[in-house]
Amino acid sequence: MSANADLAARRALAVPRGVGHATTLYAAHAENAELWDADGRRFIDFAGGIAVLNTGHRHPKVQAAALAQMNAFTHTAFQVVPYESYIALAERLNALAPIDGPAKSVFFTTGAEAVENAVKIARAHTRRDGIIAFTGGFHGRTALTSALTGKVVPYKKDLGPPQAGIYHLPFPVEAHGISADDTLKMLDYLFKADIAPDAVAAIIIEPVQGEGGFLITPPELMAALRKICDTHGILLIADEVQTGFGRTGKLFAMEHYEARPDLMTMAKSLAGGYPLSGVVGRAEVMDAPVTGGLGGTYGGNPVACAAALAVLDVIAEEGLLAKAEAQGTKLLTRLKALSQRNGIVPVDAIRGLGAMVAFDIVTERGSHTPDAGLAKQVTQKAQENGLILLTCGVYANTIRLLCPLTASDAILDEGLDKLEAALSL
């Protein structure tokens, strides 16, 4: 029996089926954009731990910062004995985030925690309960964040009724015939039929939907939401958990918009693979909860904070924002050329913002009809060829590309060659 097969058998006995996984691999070692499995096979990583590794696996500077902190102390609980790295990270993010006016930051462990706390902060500031989210949006798997998430299977199936006070609007998707105007019309209906605007605490939106299929929020929708929020005293929350830290060619995707959020959630690539998340927002909003209303035993872990400070250094020193733009251009150019070739599975809606690139697999060329089964076959074939790929999207037919921004051109080209082989009929 192979090492992968042995681990799979052990996993089946020890881990519940509710924890899914996209590959049949078990990791043994990784370096930048490459990964070796338990059987010693090498793979190009176009998944990046689901957008966690913008700075690559085991970046030397991030590892050195984490190790130095480990040699000092690994935990005190910031609420018991605070420490400088938490404060220093907050200071840097407050200065970098696209927030109008003075900002403050608070840190947690997971993206879902960040979203939950953003909702808590919004409710404390506005003294309102309602939250508006979008179909296709993904905000986490906890009771509250799965209610915010705009997809039933697998995030809500058989898990009981969603929390009250959550409402969804259709997200604009051209291929599905939904425009930004349609979304805004439905918001007007929602205000008339289900909840008054003065009962809404916040509208939460991803600048680019992650699990929803790498769908970019139209600028006109973001501008309209900002105006509506200002008119009715509603807070605008930008969920940057997947889009943040260089993936879109800006440190934060909201920098592509004129509109500014009141609160932003962040996680994933914030700490280069160490578990850390946070909320940054307008200072007067962030100060709304009473002392003790925010926090968590592991929130803002010192090792993770040290790693995050190093991640910000790496992004600046290695020019990763420009590299994201160059990587995205290369990916889009190659995909568009491939989509016109005979002998390639039907590809539709190639799209991207910076290096956040995706495309859909459909039933036939020129169609928008999703083919989730064929998309799964492509990812399986890619794995056989030594490439790790992820699907996403409401119909599970979107293939997303999340190669580390630190990957060399040679590795990126090799990965694209493997992708071409996986797409070949």
Whether 206 and 239 have beta carbons less than 8 Å apart is answered as: yes
Supply the pLDDT for residue 157. Answer: 79
Task: Report residue 350's pLDDT band, with 50, 70 and 90 as the boundaries.
Answer: very high
pLDDT of 222 strictly over 80: yes
Supply the pLDDT for residue 339. Answer: 92
Q: Which of 354, 312, 325, 280 is nearest to 55 (CA)?
A: 312
The pair of three-digit structure tokens given for residue 352, joined into one six-digit string:
């991207």
* CA atoms of 257 and 178, how far apart (whole Å): 21
* CA atoms of 37 and 45, how far apart (whole Å): 12
Supply the pLDDT for residue 413. Answer: 97
Q: Which domains does the chain have, with CATH numbers?
A: 3-58+319-423 (3.90.1150.10), 73-317 (3.40.640.10)
**What does pTM read for this prediction?**
0.96
For the residues of 116-139, what is the DSSP string, one character each? HHHHHHHHHHH---EEEEETT---
pLDDT-above-90 percentage for the chain: 93
3-state helix, strand, coil in the chain (%, to 5): 40, 20, 40
Whether 244 and 207 have beta carbons less than 8 Å apart is answered as: no
Helix or strand (DSSP H, E) at 85: helix 84-96
Q: Determine whether 163 is exposed, middle or buried from the number of CB atoms within 10 Å of its CB (0-12, 13-18, 19+).
A: middle
pLDDT of 158 strictly over 80: no
**What are the residue ranges of helices labelled H in 172-292?**
180-193, 219-232, 283-286
DSSP 362: B
Whether 308 and 271 have beta carbons less than 8 Å apart is answered as: yes
Supply the pLDDT for residue 161. Answer: 76
pLDDT of 153 strictly over 80: no
Average pLDDT of the chain to the nearest whole number: 96
Supply the pLDDT for residue 71. Answer: 98
Task: Report residue 175's pLDDT band, with 50, 70 and 90 as the boundaries.
Answer: confident
Counting Cα atoms < 13 Å in the Cβ hemisphere of 63 gives: 8
The pair of three-digit structure tokens given for residue 196, joined into one six-digit string:
């008054």
The pair of three-digit structure tokens given for residue 390, joined into one six-digit string:
């992820």
User: What is the tens place of the pLDDT at every residue in 19-68?
Assistant: 988 999 999 999 999 999 999 999 999 999 999 999 999 999 999 999 99
Q: Which of 125, 134, 107, 127 is nearest to 265 (CA)?
A: 107
* CA atoms of 310 and 319, how far apart (whole Å): 14
